[in-house]
Structure formats: C-alpha cells, structure tokens
Amino acid sequence: MDQIIVRGNGPLKGEIPITGAKNACLTLMPATLLTDQPLTLTNAPRLSDIRTMTALLQSLGAEVASLQEGQVLTLSSHDLNNHTADYEIVRKMRASILVLGPMLARDGHAIVSLPGGCAIGARPVDLHLKAFEAMGAQLDLRDGYVHAKAPAGGLKGAVIDFPIVSVGATENALLAATLARGTTVIKNAAREPEIVDLAQCLRRMGAHIDGEGTSTITIEGVQTLGGATHPVVTDRIELGTYMLAPAICGGEVECLGGRIDLVAAFCEKLDEAGIDVTETDRGLKVSRKNGRVRAVDVVTEPFPGFPTDLQAQMMALLCTAEGTSVLEEKIFENRFMHAPELIRMGARIDVHGGHATVHGTSKLRGARVMATDLRASVSLILAGLAAEGETVVSRVYHLDRGYEKVVRKLRGVGADIERIKGVTADE
C-alpha cells in the first residue's frame, strides 16, 4: 500500500485551490433517486468516497457518468431496477444509508444494509429510522439489513423532533420529505452548510423547503421532482485543513475558493492561537503572526460550532503551541486515535475519555506513523510538515477518501512531500 513521506521544510508560500465538499456531494448524489430526470453536479471532488457512492447508485440501476475528469457528475435514475443496497458497498462507506430516504419516498420500498460502525465510533442510524417511522414507514431489521416499506399512499409528512443533532439523519429525512404527502417539520435539525447545499439543490429540482441552515426545516411534499444542475459547495473541512498548513509551518498561503462563513468558529480559534486570516477576492489568506502559536482550548460541536472533522488537524497545530490546550470531542466517542501517532513524533498529549490535554512543544520529530481514519491521516501530514526530519505515513488509503491531490497541493506551496507507491504490506 502507498505511503506518504513528509520532511519539515520551513515556511510555506503560495496558493491552494479548495475543491467541492465530499460531505455535500455524498448527500447530493442520492437526490437522483428522487426523480427520473437528469441531475448534474458540478465542482464535484474526485475522491474514493465519491466513486463508492457512484458504484452504489449504479448497483441500484442509476446511470452515473463523470465528465471533465470527474469534476462533473451526471446522474439519472430513469430505470431503477434494484432497491437493495448491498452490505459489500455500504460497509465501505456509511453515507450509503442516504439512499434509503430517497428510495422510500419515490418507490415506497427499499432494503439497505446497516452500515456498521467505524473507527471513530459506533455510528448508529436509529435517528434515520425513527424519522422514516414518523413518516409512516414500516421498518424491519433482518440479517443486518433494514427492510423498509412506505404506506400504500406513500410517506406522510410528519413532525420529526431529533433528540440530538444528526447531519445524516437530517439529510435522509429532508430527502424523503420532498415527496411525502403533506408537511414535514424537522426540529433540532443539523445546520451544516452541506445541508443548506442539499436544500438548495432540491429546491432547484422543484422541492418546497424553508428554514435550511436553522434548527427547524419545513418541507411541503410535492408529487414529483424534476432534474437540475447544481454546483457542490466548497469543502469547509478541506479548507480548514489547508489553512492549518501555514499555521503550523509559518509562511503565507491563500486558499482559493475559501469562504469565511464556512469556517467562522474555526477562524475564531485560529485568531486566538495567533494565526492571521484575511478574506481576499479569491478566498482566504492565512499567515502566522510573529512568534509561536498560542495554546487554545477547543470543544467540538454541531455547526456553527467548531467542527469535529477539524479536531485532529487542530490538535496537530496545538502540539507545537506555546502552553497547554484542552480539546473536548463531544460528537464521537473515539476520535483521538491520531494522538498516539502524534506522541510518536514527540507530542505530549494526555487523553482521558472525551478530553485530550496537549502540552505544546517547540519541535516535533519525524517518525513512522499510521493513519487510522480520514481526518487523523491528514493531521499526521500537518505534523510532519512542521517536524524535524522525515515522517512516513502509512495506510494513506484513508486519506484518499477525502483529500484530492494532497501531495500536489502541498508541494505547490513549497512542502517537501512525496507519495511512494505500493510499499510492502507492513500495514
């Protein structure tokens, strides 16, 4: 399997283009199942997760074609001939559960494998299922699959009051509600930009939606939806990740396409840590003010709070800060697996339950480390950029799920980084 080698190489300078959001694209693609008209997504990221979602939709009978080297996806579900999402695909990517709502809404039945857990947590889907039950669906769990059936007249509009904020459950309920009979009100809805993006795309397809981006989303069901062309919103997690490169190495990098509204809470923490962020007419310019990074405390929360998907990357920065920082991970139960790998690089981190206390050190040292999940993998690369000596990151297939051309983008701003193919399986 491939490895990535990073050598500390001093301050970075230049610009990094930010691509379309993985987590927006993964919820936009299933929207094709709601209509027999063509859906075109532009600014799509070229990632393994997108290829997995493509394979899943094709297994259901949808046609998915990628143009312009994958940046444009054309999708059509004119001839769905299968309503079973198989375990072999679903187990690879949890977002596969997002085909359940659209299939239920349009054709009244679906069989979808339960996704199972993943490295960062149990990741149950009970809230998704409760939403569909509230809309009148009958759900049977058998042999690891959800067998779902809508009432004879189709899903009914309902009031869905989520006990906790769930991005995926909000997206699944939103997708399903567009074709339900009557009004659906989603309370305690997630407010992430990816949900706003989904609502905007569904509206282009003819859906009647109000309140996206707030905690209450109201949907008036319609008989049918049409096609649309929709640009995938900028990836705020990729944006935040690359903003941390000049923060941890010094120098100045402009993230093209970056928008401050997508990363406001994150930018507040960067400012506290002594990192300068300036809005330009092309994106966000990031530089480290003089002196060392200052320690800051971080608590991960649903949007608009500090994103859990930037926690690992922020921890890498804080390992080099002056002072002690405390990171509290409130979204997932096991999202500090990058800590032991950072400790191999000389970081001083104490993890107790959902809290990680980071005692900043002036210098990290390169080491052989192992990526454990998508965001952990890129936090190790950030640490390697600032470390003395060489860092070798293995299991980089995690990285390919969510970061397009990471070596090229970082080399473009002066990083000493390379990817070596097919190393012996020491993984």
Q: Write out the binding residues for UDP-N-acetyl-alpha-D-glucosamine.
A: 94, 123-127, 309, 331
List the one residue from 12, 44, 110, 125 that touches ligand EPZ (CB under 6 A): 125
- How many Cα atoms sit within 13 Å of 368 on the Cβ side? 5
List the one residue from 117, 124, 151, 182 that touches ligand EPZ (CB under 6 A): 124
29 φ/ψ sector (left φ>0, alpha ψ -120 to 50, else beta)? alpha
Stretch that binds ligand EPZ, among 125-133, 203-211, 214-222, 224-232 (CB under 6 A): 125-133
Q: Could you tell me if 33 and 104 are in contact, meaning their C-beta atoms sit under 8 angstroms apart? A: no
Q: DSSP letters of 296-326? A: --EEB-STTSB-GGGHHHHHHHHTTSBSEEE
- Binders of ligand EPZ among residues 10 to 29 (CB under 6 A) are 23, 26
Stretch that binds ligand EPZ, among 152-160, 165-173, 257-265, 347-355 (CB under 6 A): 165-173
Considering Cα of 171, then 173, then 177, then 179, what sign does the dihedral take? Answer: positive
**Which lies closer to ligand EPZ via its Cβ, residue 128 or residue 230?**
128
Distances (CA, A) of 149 to 8, 100, 180, 281: 56, 10, 13, 49
Q: Which SS3 state, helix, strand or coil, does residue 57 take?
A: helix
Stretch that binds ligand EPZ, among 60-68, 159-167, 217-225, 379-387 (CB under 6 A): 159-167
- Binders of ligand EPZ among residues 75 to 94 (CB under 6 A) are 94
Stretch that binds ligand EPZ, among 162-170, 337-345, 380-388, 413-421 (CB under 6 A): 162-170
The distance of Cα 256 from the centroid of its chain, to the nearest Å, equals 19
Q: Could you tell me if 112 and 148 are in contact, meaning their C-beta atoms sit under 8 angstroms apart? A: yes
Residues tagged active-site: 118
CB of 126 to ligand EPZ, least distance (A): 5
331 binds ligand EPZ (CB under 6 A): yes
What is the spatial distance between Cα 156 and Cα 172, in angstroms, rounded to a whole number?
15
**Which lies closer to ligand EPZ via its Cβ, residue 287 or residue 311?**
311
List the one residue from 99, 114, 150, 167 that touches ligand EPZ (CB under 6 A): 167
Question: Is the link from the previous residue into 304 a cis peptide, with omega within 30 of 0?
Answer: yes
**Which lies closer to ligand EPZ via its Cβ, residue 47 or residue 385?**
47
Q: Are strands 159-161 and 283-288 parallel, antiparallel or unpaired?
A: unpaired
Residue numbering of the annotated binding site for phosphoenolpyruvate: 22-23
List the one residue from 40, 166, 241, 394 that touches ligand EPZ (CB under 6 A): 166
| Count of residues touching ligand EPZ (by CB under 6 A) | 23
Contacting positions for ligand EPZ (CB under 6 A):
23, 26, 94-95, 121, 123-128, 164, 166-169, 308-309, 331-332, 374-375, 402
